[in-house]
Amino acid sequence: MSEPNTYDLIIIGAGPGGYVAAIRASKLGMKVALVDKRVTSGGVCLNEGCIPSKALLDSSELFVMARDKFSLHGIVVNPPSLDLSAMMLRKEDVVKKLTDGIAYLLKKNEIERIHGSAVLKGLNAAGLHQVEVIHSFSQPTSSGQQSLLDSVPQSTLMLTAPKIILAAGSEASSLPGISFDGQVVVSAREALAFDQVPEHLIVVGGGFIGLELGSVWRRLGAQVTVMEMLPQILPNMDRQVADMLYRTLRKQGIQFKLGTRITGVRRIGSKAIVLFNSGGGSEEVDCDKVLVAVGRRPLTAGLGLEELGVEFDEKGRVVVDDNYKSSVSGVYAIGDMIPGPMLAHKASEEGVVCVERIAGMTSEVEYEFIPGVVYTWPEASGVGASEEQLKTAGIPYRSGRFNFAALGRARCMDETDGFVKILAHQETDRILGVHIVGPRASDLISEAATVMSFGGTARDIAMICHAHPTLPEAIREAALDVHKESLHT
Amino acid sequence: MEIKIPEVGESVREALLAKWFKKNGDYVKRDEPLCEIETDKITLDLNADAAGVLTISVLEGTTVAVGATIGIVEESEVIAEVSTATSMKIMAERHEEPASSPSLRREMRENNISPDEVTGSGSGGRITLDDLFARIEEKSKMPPQSRPAVAKEHVSVAPSQQNESIVTVQQSKPALSDLKAMPEPAGQISVRTEESPSYSSARDERRPMSPLRKRIAERLVTARQQTAMLTTFNEADLSHVKKLRSDYHDHFLQRHGIALGYMPFFVKACVEALKDFPIVNASIDADDIVYHKYYDIGVAIGGEKGLVVPVLRNADQLKLYEIDISIATFSEKIKANHLAISDLEGGTFTISNGGVYGSMLSTPILNPPQSAVLGMHAIQDRPVARDGQVVIRPMMYLALSYDHRVIDGREAVGFLKKVKEYIEDPEELLLEG
């Protein structure tokens, strides 16, 4: 009875939201088509976002260790030199192994992966949603870099399904009046693949993308200046964490111009002059790269959504209900296309829950326990409410804090910058937020998210035996400090 | 666009950021109210000068200097990374639920059980898997009408061997088979036994004090503790004033567009009495007594958020109708939250009218650094002795609270008697002023 191009579910976008949703749907017994413009799956996250940036962050951190920290450990080496192209190749190899891994998973789950751009065409006579895919026959590129269809032979294909999940993700916003040129004024995608270390990189935007990529190039020797319109970096993070990170990054030589507005960029050959205003009149500065990382906007254009009558909010995001269903019956949306933090793991969660709800299950994304991480060094992470949010919401709380400087393992590692802060409800002791800046904060936050998901209290953490000497001991000490019972301060 | 605490008045150097109407990261429209600030005298809304994304840099409850930046409205189309409004709401709800775990919560949703109907046996009331199963068991024995029937879009996917699947959509009530499996309703007796006692929280309701209320409380206590406050009483016959009002009511209304009230007479009477007793118009500054050569009379007006006392400047130079119009203007400003700090500053004497609420007698409290406050009360027809006869007259008790550190009893009583005389014989006032 099933026609070749008829599916139970068509998912548009094979990023961390879409491909995870596809696998879950397949495991629930649905026949799934997964459409993406990119040959490789994994979306921005895997191809030009989280994964390649972490590959470079890890590489560049090793470089800094060899250059600046080995001697402290008594390891004498010649000053290391940088082979940037080898570093980039390793990064591409990491990406390739992971995209290959997804391709394998999709195949194993018998998911139809279709390469091309999708347009929703409304319902057919049988009441199924039609999706037109303009697809190309180009071969997957080995580099794992994006390969948009352009001049390759094209054909169109009509797919139908009762349900569609939109998971097309987002793209970098540009500054008003300053468009990306792919050479000098670039987005994160290009900043992950510079062929040489810039002399002076200007990062516009003090959010996590700007800080992470700024860190990469700073470690590899670039002069880096972060310009941020607000008077602070990372406005949504806990203020103490953001302030600590700000001070540490400045110590590492990243320059900051806060409260600064970029008024223009003048290109001169392969360089540029950035015009800016920090409140004291117009100034300018030379640089050879400008990374614009001022936020991302949902990719909703070109999918035929307006024509179908899909509703958007004032920020251009798809309006969805608790089932992730849009205003159009049978059309769902997840990830960066809908409100909420633009995080890969949030999109994956939503993908799974959306599919499970389509299958009649009562799954739910527990948004309050979604951790956020900034992969600078030291790293910063947080889950739950910040101290500022608790104050604003008028929730009574106690705060406990422990500095890594007092922690044995951090001393051994010589990574003593930072702290763990635990915010617990004043009456119930239930943990409301945990904020960490310090070594491996990204890994440490999992314990916090786990305990919070279980409705745990600061005393719960304090009563759990933590191995010694380890970094997570800092979490226990912070939990003890909530009741001023800290052992090591 | 920076959001700054505006200049609100000469003596005001700081303000309390009482409440943010918007959350960090919210998109705000131009002219939308952003926050409420309070000085010790007034609350004021700050509106957005531009549309954009709000970043809050000063939290509510913080006292900030005039001119300080409390946040920024970023005028761009850039999308804020995280909107925290919803997650905070969920957070607040979640921490009131008994502790459980993600998979337990899903089981509860699957079985349509809310966390508060399960008795948690774990530490601190934690719900364990056994607690939940016990509850599911118990619920399956309950009469069907006490089970909330959920009608939801239910999609079931049936996998088949040939990788062909059938997706069916149906409006589902509790399945028929479920209903059959349940016993017949056993009368109206509820099987639910573990329902928590309902009287515990209903008897008290706790609400945090608003910042303005806190400030009022502080100031009142201060006035009590740092002055030597004393009250003297008298009463006034309002026959004359009443007659004047009714005689000239239409005429006055026609000429000035406002009905003549009682308050202007009292303002005038107080000004004249203050001229006779300058010490009542004075205030203490450290070791000095400062005599004020001007008559700025505060008039207490009840507002929605508390009592405010706007000041009539140079009341000695105002005509009766001007006083009336000024008071009406103040009332409108209070309603619209448009009162300026300058309207409230620097009074030398205050009149408080408890009579509007029907008070017969009360002791008003000082408004430091002022040294005295007059309390007006309700007008009542009372029998009084006039020329050896008992007659009925519209009477009002007057109270003067004063700071005994500056004002002696003789002066206070004398002042109040003067006020009484002027009120009882307003012709003199009219001749004077």
Check whether residue A472 and residue A398 sit in a common domain.
yes
Please tell us whether the domain made up of B97-146 is placed in CATH 3.40.50.720.
Answer: no
Using an 8 Å Cβ cutoff, are B99 and B124 in contact? Answer: yes
Check whether residue A358 and residue A453 sit in a common domain.
no
Check whether residue A146 and residue A240 sit in a common domain.
no
Which residues 121-140 of A have a C-beta within 8 angstroms of B? none
Q: What values do phi and psi take at A163, rounded to 5?
A: -130, 140
- Does residue A59 sit within a domain? no
Task: Identify all chain A residues contacting B90, using CB atoms and an 8 Å cutoff.
Answer: 367-368
Rounded distance between C-alpha atoms, residue B96 and residue B98, angstroms: 6
Check whether residue A187 and residue A226 sit in a common domain.
yes
Check whether residue A107 and residue A41 sit in a common domain.
yes
Which residues 306-335 of A have a C-beta within 8 angstroms of B? 314-316, 323
Q: Between A346 and A281, where is the model more confident?
A: A346
Check whether residue A349 and residue A373 sit in a common domain.
no
- Does residue A62 sit within a domain? no
* Closest C-alpha among A363, A357, A318, A362 to residue A340: A318
Give me the total of CB pairs closer than 8 Å, taking one residue from chain A and one from chain B.
Answer: 145
ipTM of the shown complex = 0.73
Rounded distance between C-alpha atoms, residue B85 and residue B15, angstroms: 26
CATH number (3.50.50.60, 2.30.30.230, 2.40.50.100, 3.30.70.120) of B2-74 reads: 2.40.50.100
Domain ranges of chain B: 2-74, 97-146, 228-432
Q: pLDDT tens for residues A253-277?
A: 999 999 999 999 999 989 999 999 9
Could you say which of A324, A340, A365 is where a domain stops?
Answer: A365
DSSP alpha helices (H): ranges in B231-350?
239-256, 263-276, 320-335
Task: Identify all chain A residues contacting B101, using CB atoms and an 8 Å cutoff.
Answer: 453-455
Contact A176 B77 (CB under 8 A): yes
Rounded distance between C-alpha atoms, residue A245 and residue B423, angstroms: 70
CATH number of the domain that residue A275 is part of: 3.50.50.60
- Does residue A327 sit within a domain? yes
| Burial classification of residue A26, based on how many CB atoms lie within 10 Å of its CB (0-12 exposed, 13-18 middle, 19 or more buried) | buried
Q: Name the residue in chain A with its Cα closest to that of B76.
A: A176
The domain of A182 spans 174-294
Residue A19 has what DSSP assignment? H
Give the side-chain half-sphere CA count within 13 A for A98. Answer: 22
Q: What values do phi and psi take at A456, rounded to 5?
A: -75, 165
Check whether residue A125 and residue A19 sit in a common domain.
yes
Total tally of structural domains belonging to chain A: 3
A2 lies within 8 A of chain B by CB = yes
Check whether residue A149 and residue A277 sit in a common domain.
no
Q: Name the residue in chain B with its Cα closest to that of A340.
A: B82
Phi-psi map region of B191: left, alpha, beta (phi>0 left; psi -120 to 50 alpha): alpha
- Does residue A83 sit within a domain? no
Name the residue among B27, B97, B167 with its Cβ closest to that of A162.
Answer: B167
Could you say which of A328, A349, A365 is where a domain stops?
Answer: A365
pLDDT tens, per residue, chain B with 433 residues: 788 887 766 556 777 787 888 877 777 877 788 888 877 666 778 888 888 888 888 877 778 888 888 888 877 544 443 444 445 555 556 667 788 888 888 888 888 888 888 888 887 788 888 888 888 888 777 665 544 444 444 444 444 444 444 444 444 444 444 444 444 433 333 333 333 333 334 467 777 777 667 777 888 888 888 899 999 999 999 999 998 888 888 888 888 888 888 899 999 999 999 999 999 999 998 889 999 999 999 998 877 666 788 999 999 998 888 998 999 888 888 887 777 777 887 899 999 988 888 889 999 999 888 999 999 999 999 999 999 999 999 999 999 999 999 999 999 999 999 999 999 988 877 765 5
Place of tokens 């000095």: B288
Stated as kind and residue range, the H or E segment containing B422 is helix B409-424
Rounded distance between C-alpha atoms, residue A408 and residue B183, angstroms: 64
Q: Which of B256, B292, B404, B425 is catalytic?
A: B404
- Does residue A234 sit within a domain? yes
Its CATH class, for the domain covering B228-432, is: alpha beta
- Give chain A's largest Cα–Cα span: 75
Check whether residue A375 and residue A423 sit in a common domain.
yes
Check whether residue A413 and residue A452 sit in a common domain.
yes
Same fold, B2-74 and B97-146: no
Query: Which pTM was predicted?
Result: 0.60
Stated as kind and residue range, the H or E segment containing B418 is helix B409-424
Distance from CA of A28 to the nearest CA of B (A): 7
Does the annotation mark B116 as catalytic? no
Check whether residue A279 and residue A217 sit in a common domain.
yes
Check whether residue A429 and residue A332 sit in a common domain.
no
Stated as kind and residue range, the H or E segment containing B214 is helix B211-226
